[in-house]
A and B are shown apart, each in its own frame.
Chain A
């Protein structure tokens, strides 16, 4: 390991107070000058190390990058984890790895996506360092029937992980958007390949993108009205690595039958559209109705004004009057 990396690790693991150049030098067995040079290099690379005269160096808590060395052995041994500071899209990267034969459970993690992907090629805004992007590859057992409700289940698992790390209560907007009372904080994108020789699902890539902190300079205009960050910089504690680890562990078990019932009930409890009047857009068609139910297969049951029920398999849904979060979560 280079001195630079050792210095960075020491600073990441010691955020409570300043670390003096001398302490680090003694600890790492290098000269004080070498520490100073390493700090300069890191700062040049964009690591926001603060230097206080006569005290030493310190990283702000909001500097929370993924660290490949964090992940526990058992997790990495069962299938590889690829950790990137930046990648075009974690889903795309993992799909490439899947085509090259990557194992079930392989995961791609990134601090930043340069071409983040939403549904059907919409871009998913992915700012540097303030986000977390995790994709996990699943190769279902041939006897396992992959449900269309996979995205719903992935949304619940993400919500659980986020709340475990102190996020405010999370609601889900059908199908794949996670909301707090401030706005959309995360989204899920599930991509599968169907082998038409047998009609079975070969691979599933489930990806989640999370706005942990507000990006420097705010969210871009086109999404500023409904995007939000989970945490405020003032109270942020570094959680990215343990959170990413929990997400990978949870998603590796996504395609197991025994948790379907619990996850779908929880999805309904977290739903911000159930019982509400919504506008559903399907291509050129728009309908207004009240959400009566969310079926086990994930379909949305909408009651139109004329009393007819419609089962929606694919639509954009928005709540009247706001961007997705109702008062009673």
Chain B
């Protein structure tokens, strides 16, 4: 030591009793009453005051009439469409009457219980996968094998006395979930590779990634689905056939990956040069520093954008309408062709909207939680 008299920096707090005696003054408690909140948030400027008053008028007009239609005058339960026709309010009975073809599409009616089991297993698997306490390969790998296996067994059948159901007959909510999960699970790793490839120093890899991303982003999703379903089989050798649903998922996954890659690239670009240098100076190789240093920080930075695209991917599954797959929205459209119930399509679509909303809202809430976890210990 240059100067051995000075106290060692690390020991300073413990060796200094004065520090512990200091009285701590708490910050003043702000009085936050309802009136104060109203004043600060709704009436804090003339413009906001006018807006608030206009909104109050509109709400006063709409809320009672919506409640009248949707609750007080509504028909909740009837098998007779004529009861609905005579009522003034909404006909929620249409959901009860038609929920099975809406939720499960053209899947054989007597086998619908299998889809219920599949959906329950799916929800449990996803929930556990997203729970931090389960984040170790020892739990996740068996979970995915069992969960994925059960869902596949229930959907396809063909063994254990279950009748075989071809994937062309799948429909409704399970189909939406299969499309969505397949897209994200296949597409997300690919999007990371695309994002890294686009920033690669190797010209060939960079060129391939740039061309792919730009060309995929240049065409509508519908075109890609059309190519995957109708054009792609023409290039396959005779006799070789790839499942249509699988082709659709791959097409959606590549489309998803190309958009997601650009979001992740934004995160990669936000990492300071010093992080790469520090990792390199320690002797870490490319994949080591990419996996351990760069990606965790980059993905954290662009998490809101990533979740944004995942939610969009969930809703994009409804595009399969044009290639003859019956996801929950298409199935509902088909069910609503029934002339007896056709006039209650608003209620049916509202129901589907609520289903979509529940999933999308859960996703966005979950992402807020993840952001909270990632910010722990870094608020200083």
Partners in one complex: no
**B contact set with A: CB distance below 8 Å:** none
Partner-B contacts on A (CB < 8 A): none
